[in-house]
């Protein structure tokens, strides 16, 4: 889903992505609670993509983050 965000998709896709990515990132943070570094990475990632208080990052920054998350 992260890599599809690099394309020009309808806004609804990004909303679905935000909800699902938030759930996945917080689940990963919970499952990595014994590894504090990864727990922090996934928790911050979940806060960045959460759909309730949207961060107004530029398209370039979102694309960079999507590539990083796809790699991780």
- Angle among Cα 49, 71, 15 to the nearest 5 degrees reads 25
- Max Cα-Cα span within the chain: 38
Judged against a pLDDT cut of 90, whether residue 34 lies above it is answered with no
Output the pLDDT for position 2: 84
Res 55: pLDDT: 83
pLDDT of residue 9: 87
| pLDDT on residue 5 | 82
Confidence of residue 48 (pLDDT cuts 50, 70, 90): very high
Report which of 68, 50, 66 is spatially closest to residue 58, judged by C-alpha positions.
Answer: 66
Tokens found for residue 4: 């599809």
Torsion, Cα of 25, 30, 32, 38 (10° steps): 50
Q: What is the pLDDT of residue 38?
A: 92
Cβ–Cβ under 8 Å, residues 20 and 1: yes
């Amino acid at each position: 889903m992260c890599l599809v965000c690099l394309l020009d998709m309808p806004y609804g896709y990004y909303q679905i992505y935000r909800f699902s990515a938030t759930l996945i990132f917080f689940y990963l943070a919970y499952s990595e609670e014994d590894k504090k570094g990864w727990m922090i990475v996934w928790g911050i990632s979940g806060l960045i993509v959460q759909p309730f208080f949207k961060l107004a990052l530029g398209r370039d920054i979102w694309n960079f983050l999507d590539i990083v998350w796809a790699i991780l």
